[in-house]
Structure 1
Amino acid sequence: MKKWIAGCLVALGLATNAFAAGGGFPLEKAPNLTNDLSALQNGAKIFVNHCLSCHSASFVRYNRMTELGLTEKQIKENLMFTTEKVGDLMISAINPAQAKQWFGANPPDLTLVARSRASAGHTGADYLYTLLRTYYRDETKPTGWNNLAFPNIGMPNPLWELQGERKPVMETVSSHGHEVQVLRGWEQVKPGTMTQAEYDRNVAELVAFMQWMAEPAHNDRVRLGIWVLIFLGVFTIVAWRLNAAFWKDIK
């Protein structure tokens, strides 16, 4: 169960902050760490240790992570557990037939999940960042876990050893003539191996890696676009002055 990190990510919907019909759980803004190579490297480590046993990233090859500042030797020794060649695709080790038997369906590929979960006003990173930080213990559920961003989630908290166990602190308030439960905070039930701040940072780095994985060339494309706009701006000024020079003697 430890490595189920995104078993239901592509199927997740938003829950309600007040558990009332028509509400929408507010997504938190994920830190932008896609330019931080050390953060992306740690995110890659978390991904291969907690996600890749069940979920593939079949549009990315291991050696693509050399773009994160890793050598092929480092990738092979630290991030590869099921393949022999550093040029192989990041394919899950789980047997598809067994996965369907256990989960009812094959765990989805996660290559593009950080892009597919984007919504109006929020990126897919915001969605994933919120989801992975709103798990809580619920003994009424078969897995013993629930999630504020996805009520009745079928996937237990994949990072519970890091975060520990906690429960939401709810408050009853009146809204439009109805009493609803609103989240006011969290109570730590059992400590994890990380403090909450450390856990939040590691989740942010995992999400950043999933963003990078969804579009490795994103930052290069943005930088190139900025230079193209600068070039066009300079060229426009030059063209304008040339035009004035060509027509200055014509009345």
Structure 2
Amino acid sequence: MKKWIVMLFALLPSLAMAAGANVPLDAANNDLSDKASLQNGAKLFMNYCFGCHSTQYQRYGRVAQDLGIPDDLMKQNLIFDPAVKIGSLMENAIPDESAAKWFGAPPPDLTLVARVRGTDWLYTYLRSFYADPSRPFGVNNIVFPSVGMPHVLEELQGVPQPVYETHMVDGEEHRVVVGTQSDGRGELNQEEFDTAVRDLVNFLEYSGDPVKLERHALGWWVMAFLVIFTIVVVFLKKEYWRDVH
């Protein structure tokens, strides 16, 4: 009993963080069957996220196989360390001690982040950064206030500026950030950026459960078997008990 209580209290901080700032979340509308989306998400992750975050419970070869990427293309475009083999785990090269010194805490592994946070949270979070000169990295986040992470997708989005609303609290005006608007200097327009973020979140959802589609497909076969088995059992029961009744 004590073990379960300890586990529950250990999970409470994560659950609270997952709730974020109580901001309405946008639907990610992921599609794990879209291989092109997953491939683009993998490319975005390796180019913009992998420098700090690993997915250490995945292997390059398994990702290449699942996403339909030939091994040679995986090595050329998504494996940046020549010493890393296709069968290696996807671990970045930053020591935890150095990362903690630079960022205040080691950046978390993201293999299971979609399962912990939820895809809608990730999709909204990655599109909710805004310029804030008071923060160490010059940005803040609506979903995760006082975030300790830079806006790594700024090159694609441009510099997002905050959109404010004024609310009266105890007779005083308070400005609240309710949205963001890009300065238009990014490589992508808003629609393209939203699609890119969706692809990235799609890849992170796949990372957290690589066999999800197979599991769901197998589930339908299991349900069909149980239905057929139940019908057979009912008829068999009637046959056995026919003379008794």
Q: TM-score, normalised by structure 1?
A: 0.83
SS of the residue 1:172 aligns to: strand
Is 1:139 matched up with 2:138?
no
Task: Return the letter of the residue paired with 2:220.
Answer: I
Q: CA deviation at 1:79?
A: 0.9
Q: CA deviation at 1:186?
A: 3.6
Of 173-182 and 153-162, the range deviating more from structure 2 = 173-182
1:4 is matched with which residue?
A: none
Is 1:169 matched up with 2:163?
yes
**1: CA distance, partners of 2:94 / 2:173:** 45
Q: CA deviation at 1:130?
A: 0.9
Q: CA deviation at 1:177?
A: 8.3
Of 184-193 and 25-34, the range deviating more from structure 2 = 184-193
Of 232-241 and 88-97, the range deviating more from structure 2 = 88-97
Q: CA deviation at 1:221?
A: 0.9
Segments of 5+ residues of structure 2 without an aligned counterpart are 1-13
Deviations 1:200-231 (A, max 9, x none): 11111111111111111111111111110111
Taking structure 1 as reference, are residues 184 and 60 closer, same or farther at Cα in structure 2, changes over 3 Å only?
Answer: closer
2:101 is matched with which residue?
A: 101
RMSD: 2.5
1:71 is matched with which residue?
A: 70
Q: How many percent identity over aligned positions?
A: 44
Is 1:207 matched up with 2:201?
yes
Is 1:29 matched up with 2:23?
no
**2: CA distance, partners of 1:79 / 1:237:** 51
1:248 is matched with which residue?
A: 242
SS of the residue 1:169 aligns to: strand
Taking structure 1 as reference, are residues 227 and 174 closer, same or farther at Cα in structure 2, changes over 3 Å only?
Answer: farther
**2: CA distance, partners of 1:233 / 1:54:** 49
Taking structure 1 as reference, are residues 192 and 11 closer, same or farther at Cα in structure 2, changes over 3 Å only?
Answer: farther
**2: CA distance, partners of 1:235 / 1:175:** 64
Taking structure 1 as reference, are residues 108 and 174 closer, same or farther at Cα in structure 2, changes over 3 Å only?
Answer: same
Q: CA deviation at 1:74?
A: 1.7
**1: CA distance, partners of 2:53 / 2:61:** 18
Structure 1 contact 14–150 (Cα < 8 Å) conserved: no
**2: CA distance, partners of 1:10 / 1:112:** 14
Q: CA deviation at 1:33?
A: 1.7
Q: CA deviation at 1:57?
A: 1.1
SS of the residue 2:188 aligns to: coil
1:44 is matched with which residue?
A: 42
Deviations 1:97-144 (A, max 9, x none): 322221233222111111122xxxxxx111111110001111222211
Taking structure 1 as reference, are residues 100 and 169 closer, same or farther at Cα in structure 2, changes over 3 Å only?
Answer: closer
Count residues with an aligned counterpart: 230
**2: CA distance, partners of 1:132 / 1:187:** 13
